[in-house]
Amino acid sequence: MPSASVYTVAVRALCEFTAKRGDLDLRFTPSPTGAEGVEGHGVVTARRGVGYQTEVALSGDWGPLRVRGRADGWDPVARRLEEIKTYRGDLAHVPDNHRQLHWAQARVYGALICHQLGLQQVALALVYYNIDTRQETVFTETGEAATLQAFFEEQCRHFAAWSAQETAHRAARDEALRALAFPMPAFRTGQRELAEAVYRAARAGRCLMAQAPTGIGKTVGTLFPLLRAMPPDASRAGSGLDKVFYLAAKTPGRQLALDALQSLRAGLPKAPLRVLELVARDKACEHPDKACHGESCPLARGFYDRLSAARQAAVDAAGAGLLARERVRAVALQHQVCPYYLAQELARWADAVVGDYNYWFDTSALLFALTQMDGWRVAVLVDEAHNLVERARSMYSAELEQGALRALRRSAAPVSPPLKRALDRLNRHWNALQREQRTPYAASQALPDAFVEALNRTLATLTDLQADQPALAGELALSGADLQRFYFDALHFARLAESFGPHSLFDITLRPGRAPLPERPAASTLCIRNLVPAPHLQPRLAAAQAVVLFSATLSPQAYHADLLGLPANTAWIDVPSPFTARQLSVGVARHISTRWADRSRSLAPIVDAIAGQFAARPGLYLAFFSSYDYLDQVFALLREQHPDLPCWEQQRQMPEAAREAFLARFMPGAQGVGFAVLGGAFAEGIDLPGERLIGAFIATLGLPQVNPVNEQIRARMEAVFVGRGYDYTYLYPGLQKVVQAAGRVIRSPVDEGVLVLMDDRFSRAEVRALLPAWWEARETGSEQFRE
Ligand code: SF4
């Protein structure tokens, strides 16, 4: 076992650090998926002879450095070591600096195997395998052991100063974290219980679901124990954490985590904790009109030549404060490198990373990929985890619009006949798919193989065309066609098609207004719709030492555990609410039915209830509805009947400034009712304590609309989770939205307020069972509810 002073580095990470030069160039991407890469390696190695070895574990030391990795292939008879790379398109378009990196890896492996087997010479082969054509191109060289050893030592020397710095940083960090004190004078009610459960999960290496109410300080309450769990325990081999990832569904959650880490960091002498914020490309990009390669973007040109200085400057800057978006940007611009890709590099060297769910759970998640490559021990915190089911479904779903394909075909005709031909072929397959369809929507449990094959062929053509004609996308853009967008959508679709299974369905939605006739095919949308994300998420859950999913609304536990694929030994904690029934008057207006058939009859009593409550206790309220249409109808009637009652409404696709203006009306001393939709921007993640919000009205149970898609989901849920089809599709997601929205009213132990649940179904036992235990709902008739 290496001692604490040994710094272990993967061959690939070492070479990426030492041997990458020149421009950042993403024209060669998208590269094959991980699954395609694995399959490609399998194809190549299966072609080799008897005795050929794969995944050969190799390691070697140089001073305090331990370099290790797995060589792709070794032929002991020919004494040939192979490094296999999969790719798409034209091999000539692999940038030189990528090839140099591949050779560096092969040479380091060559040195390690010569040393390990006592060889004087070895043959080195770079095998490039084309995923689409299934052909290999092989480059070879002969490596003398002494030359390879010199190369290996040169890489190690290059890395030595950095690894020494990292070793010292890690030691200082762990020592400081051992003494980390809780940053508040005392734990809040329930906060200690939560923190202890998180700590136990991290030490035991398991998942934890933590349902904990608003206001107990969940962010600090989960980060603090994980930081305390980072230093290894001297008595337990393989204990401790390399990194903590805090993943949020929305931007405000990220900011809360950064604030909490700031306060925790302030308690560490010399603050040796590197905290990094990852933001989306469109927020970090300095040249949104350019492409990510040196011929287009100045911050990509010579990126790797300047990266070393920028990386050191960023790490130095981390001592002075969080590596939040602005600080990373300042360092990047000072060194003239791209801030977005600099942040990605810094993820390797940060102790705590704050970012979106995508970075761990998505199909091409950066943090997940780095963790796998470098063998990190990480803990993953999933904030507002009730969002993960829907977010994961969308990550593993893909849509293709036929309208986009047709627009592209039209634009391609004068610009690129080969492109036009490829798109024509795909369009014919597409039309054939829907020729027999007589209903607007049809779902299937199987993928149309012929179409998927045609899509893959089209993708191969598009890859080659774009590589041969880099200006092609720009030329098409002049006529309004978005080749890149179509390409990436198609690629995502094709990749998800590879892992299609009972967790998803394939559906076709015909666009309205065009009756499908053989001579006049309708345009349609094709969708791979993920329903049960569990099979996709399980490898991600397994790759972390601990995953903590926390939220105020994780009930019913089984619903989330089933859909997310949590392991059977996942721990569960339900932290009791510090709030009391005295703080929140909950009324069920059971004289109102918000069922679809009763909607028009419900408008007047809803308006009466809102206006009556407001008259009895003027102040600031939120009124939630299940749809914009419903919201608009009630809003219009309230305005008509009570023109003096101040009210304002959430808009469809509200820009950020308008959202801020909506919230700005919730100021102490103000009065009125903000109308919003359940599940929307104002139904969770906003904090309006005290007088800023004294009550909420919730019309409907938030049940998703009954439509063909949801009915398909219900049927699939019923098949997979027998007896749970309706609950998993409608009831649980709906009530979760209700509880989230209602949670806006009481934000602290001193808040008091009113909640009016408008629908008779809130009286039912099965619905009541899904509401927080501390609520004491009273039924009201047509009389007003005016606590
Ligand atoms: S600045 Fe923008 S265009 Fe340039 S490399 Fe970065 S992300 Fe790409």
Per residue in 374-402, pLDDT (tens digit) is: 889 999 999 999 999 999 999 999 999 99
Q: Measured from the CA of 293, which atom of ligand 1 is nearest?
A: 5
Confidence of residue 638 (pLDDT cuts 50, 70, 90): very high
- Average pLDDT of the chain is 91
pLDDT value, residue 257: 95
List of residues 6+ apart from 53 with CB closer than 8 A: 73, 74, 75, 76
pLDDT value, residue 785: 42
Indicate the top mutation candidate among 281, 290, 329, 366 to test ligand 1's pocket, ranked by most ligand atoms within 8 A of CB: 290
How many CA atoms, within 13 angstroms, populate the side-chain half-sphere of residue 446? Answer: 5
Q: Which amino acid appears at position 427 of this protein?
A: N
List of residues 6+ apart from 723 with CB closer than 8 A: none
Q: Measured from the CA of 290, which atom of ligand 1 is nearest?
A: 3
Percentage of the chain surpassing pLDDT 70? 96
d(CA 232, CA 245): 18
pLDDT value, residue 718: 95
d(CA 42, CA 271): 47
State the residue for tokens 């290790």. 68
Comparing CA positions, the residue from 66, 30, 685 lying closest to residue 363 is: 30
pLDDT value, residue 628: 95
pLDDT value, residue 88: 76
Q: Is the pLDDT of residue 435 over 90?
A: no
Q: Compute CA 228 distance to the chain's CA centroid, rounded to the nearest angstrom.
A: 26
Q: Measured from the CA of 341, which atom of ligand 1 is nearest?
A: 6
SS (H, E, C) 475-492: HHHCCCCCHHHHHHHHHH
Task: Give the binding-site residues of ligand 1, using a 6 Å CB cut-off.
Answer: 24, 281, 285-287, 290, 292, 297, 299-300, 338, 340-341
Confidence of residue 1 (pLDDT cuts 50, 70, 90): very low
Lowest mean pLDDT among 204-213, 268-277, 758-767: 268-277
pLDDT value, residue 784: 46
Lowest mean pLDDT among 26-30, 179-183, 320-324, 643-647: 26-30
In which element (H, E) is residue 193 found?
helix 191-204
Contact between residue 97 and residue 25 where contact means Cβ atoms under 8 Å apart: yes
Ligand 1 centre distance from Cα of residue 492 (Å): 22
Angle between helices 534-543 and 388-395 (to 10 degrees): 110
Confidence of residue 424 (pLDDT cuts 50, 70, 90): very high
Q: Which 3 state secondary structure label does DSSP give 2?
A: coil
Contact between residue 678 and residue 623 where contact means Cβ atoms under 8 Å apart: no
Note the pLDDT tens digit of each residue in 243-276.
999 999 987 789 999 999 999 998 887 778 999 9
pTM greater than the 0.75 cutoff: yes
Comparing CA positions, the residue from 135, 133, 27, 136 lying closest to residue 457 is: 133
Strand duo 753-758 + 584-589: pairing: parallel
Contact between residue 441 and residue 507 where contact means Cβ atoms under 8 Å apart: yes
Percentage of the chain surpassing pLDDT 90? 73
Q: Is the pLDDT of residue 26 over 90?
A: no
Report, as an integer, the average pLDDT of 700-714: 93
> Which tokens is 109 given?
């492996």
Note the pLDDT tens digit of each residue in 744-757.
999 888 899 999 99
pLDDT value, residue 477: 73
In degrees rounded to 5, what are phi and psi of residue 703? -65, 135
Neighbours of 185 (CB within 10 A): 5
Q: Measured from the CA of 300, which atom of ligand 1 is nearest?
A: 5
pLDDT value, residue 34: 66
pLDDT value, residue 649: 97
pLDDT value, residue 781: 64
pLDDT value, residue 520: 57
Indicate the top mutation candidate among 340, 344, 366 to test ligand 1's pocket, ranked by most ligand atoms within 8 A of CB: 340
Residue of minimum CA distance from atom 5 in ligand 1 = 292
List of residues 6+ apart from 117 with CB closer than 8 A: none
Ligand 1 centre distance from Cα of residue 91 (Å): 24
Q: Measured from the CA of 285, which atom of ligand 1 is nearest?
A: 2
C-alpha distances out from residue 572 to 246, 558, 736, Å: 19, 11, 18
C-alpha distances out from residue 665 to 335, 473, 628, 673, 727, Å: 43, 45, 20, 9, 37
Q: Is the pLDDT of residue 296 over 60?
A: yes
List of residues 6+ apart from 482 with CB closer than 8 A: 404, 408, 476
Q: Is the pLDDT of residue 297 over 50?
A: yes
Report, as an integer, the average pLDDT of 706-723: 94
In degrees rounded to 5, what are phi and psi of residue 294? -65, -25
pLDDT value, residue 95: 81
C-alpha distances out from residue 688 to 64, 659, 665, 694, Å: 54, 14, 11, 9
d(CA 231, CA 233): 7
